Amino acid sequence: MNWLRNWLNQEGGGVFIDSGANIGQYVVSLSNLPGVQTFAFEPVSHEMQWLQSCLRRYPKWAVEIVPLALGADKQQLKIRLAGGESTFRQDWYRNQQLDEELINMITLDDFAQEKKIERIRLWKLDMEGYEPHALAGAQALLEEQRIDALLIEAQTSTIPAIKQNLAIGNYNLFHIQSSGKLVPASDWIEAKAFEGNLIALPGKAGDS
């Protein structure tokens, strides 16, 4: 969180996209910074209502709750409800009977065009295994390197697709050490049982 706050402060704020905002853990931690404009994507009605209630305490913050999910295209999908671990993945919770909710989806490319967003300072993706699909819907923004940094929840199973979608903009993946220093994410994250957050930053053509 310290790294994220410093990142937003470096440029005096900017647009913060929170996809998978849930009840607002990242929203309330980052939206109070000067110059930050937050778009909080939370399509699940229960969590969205909780977030709305929370934000009534902070009417001066520049936060817009977006009751949509980010994906690879505009469509409707059923999400399996499991609180903060609700997911579009049908291969999760195979042996559990869970309620479902029909969710509307949009691409980040389309949303940015509609809102006339020229640059995104930070995009946080915490979508319980659906992160590659959201990245696939932001290929224009990524290709033009109009997203300065991404915080991506990743697992060993999703990292190859995440890297493939980021390649169009020559984005590189990093770990955040406890000191706040970024270190390149090595290839072992695809071979071992990795689960955690990675930072993606744009590089120059030819960077690996």
- CATH number, domain containing residue 69: 3.40.50.150
How much is the pLDDT for 1?
92
With respect to residue 154, please indicate whether it lies within any of the assigned structural domains.
yes
Q: How far apart are CA 1 and CA 13, in angstroms?
A: 15
Quote the number of domains for the chain: 1
Strands laid side by side in the 36-41 sheet: 63-66, 36-41, 14-19, 122-125, 150-155, 195-202, 171-176, 182-184
CB 123 within 8 A of CB 148: no
With respect to residue 101, please indicate whether it lies within any of the assigned structural domains.
yes
With respect to residue 63, please indicate whether it lies within any of the assigned structural domains.
yes
How much is the pLDDT for 88?
55
With respect to residue 152, please indicate whether it lies within any of the assigned structural domains.
yes
How much is the pLDDT for 98?
63
With respect to residue 186, please indicate whether it lies within any of the assigned structural domains.
yes
Residues paired with 103 in a beta bridge? 77
Q: How far apart are CA 56 and CA 38, in angstroms?
A: 15
CB 162 within 8 A of CB 152: yes
Rama region for 113: left / alpha / beta (φ>0; ψ in -120 to 50; rest): alpha
Query: What stretches in the chain show pLDDT beneath 50?
Result: 206, 208
Q: What angle do CA 9, 13, 18 make, to 5 degrees?
A: 110
Q: Which domain holds residue 76?
A: 2-202
How does the average pLDDT of the chain come out, rounded?
88
pTM (two decimals): 0.89
With respect to residue 92, please indicate whether it lies within any of the assigned structural domains.
yes
CB 98 within 8 A of CB 80: yes
CB 205 within 8 A of CB 172: no
CB-facing half-sphere around the CA of 53: CA atoms within 13 A: 8
With respect to residue 208, please indicate whether it lies within any of the assigned structural domains.
no
Q: pLDDT tens for residues 183-208?
A: 998 766 766 778 889 999 999 754 54
